[in-house]
Amino acid sequence: MKKLYKNNLVLKKEIKYELFLLPALIGFTLFFIYPVLCSFYYSTTNWSLYNNDSFKFIGLQNFNKILDDVEVYSGIFNSFKWALLVTFFHNTLAIPLAVALDSKIKGKNFFRSVFFVPAVLSSLIVGYLWNFIMAPTDYGLLNKVITFFGGHNVNWLGEPKIALYSVLFTQIWQWTGWTMIIYLANLQSIPSDYYEAAEIDGANGWKKFKVITLPMLAPSMTVNLLLSMIGGLKVFDIIFSMTQGGPGHATETIITILIKRGFSEGLYGYASAIGVVLFLIIAVVSLILLKFLIRREEKII
């Protein structure tokens, strides 16, 4: 009887603790689960600004329309190009930065702050700031520096061949510090005994990095690669603030196409179908990447 009473008390305590999860669960359901389910539903309707009160179920017609939409293909291509380049540069630059700022150098806390501060800023603010710096006219700071050294003005955001890479540079500048901090936290959890044993065996700096540091960074690498890839596929705000998808369709991403179809053209059902396609793309890419990275971690650890 006593045992049953104790078990009931424990159960009541657990239920009380679980109630604290309820607000988060309600918020997650209202602001994520419900909108996602609505998007799936509306993607199968002809809902638009022009038949707001009389939309009807049309099956997969919106998805068939996507197959003939050249702009959507261009947006998907640019989104993948962006995601791959951002993932590569963020991690390639962040790892050596983290290693350097984990060493015993003077002012390392100051440099950590300098590299991390851009990540605190809003992407819209960063976009407007770099829009001014990359302005093609004489007041553009970057062109002023180039002309000062005898060069010619460059239309950073108006030239289709370089516009996407110009915007991409701003995101490398902004988010590399964030990626670096995650690697830095992982570096500080690596036992110093490993490095001491390697020194006794005569390993130099590069050997220690290759054999100890890089393999031990596998958990943070999994997190950073996933965050960079997913964030890259969903990019919108920096594109919107700097180029609005132009010049032409040079910097269009799948999200900018979705916003144009939904808010500018009023094709809500069609925009929902594009959103569903993006959701499925991100889900598939994330699952494949996660499976590969976890398998890699298991082999190393």
pLDDT of residue 13: 58
| Domains located in the chain, CATH noted | 68-300 (1.10.3720.10)
pLDDT of residue 150: 87
Residues with Cβ < 8 Å from 42, sequence gap 6 or more? Answer: 268, 269, 272
User: Which among 242, 45, 298 has a CA at the least distance from the CA of 126?
Assistant: 242
Q: Which amino acid, 153?
A: N
- d(CA 85, CA 170) in angstroms, rounded, equals 13
pLDDT of residue 164: 95
pLDDT of residue 202: 85
Question: Which string of b and e fits 51-65 if b means at least 16 CB within 10 Å?
Answer: eeeeeeeeeebbeeb
Residue with tokens 């690669």: 225
Instruction: Compute mean pLDDT per 10 residues along the chain, 301 residues long, and list them.
Output: 52 66 89 92 91 83 94 94 96 95 88 93 91 84 89 90 95 96 93 88 87 91 94 94 90 94 92 95 94 84 62
What pTM value is reported for the model? 0.90
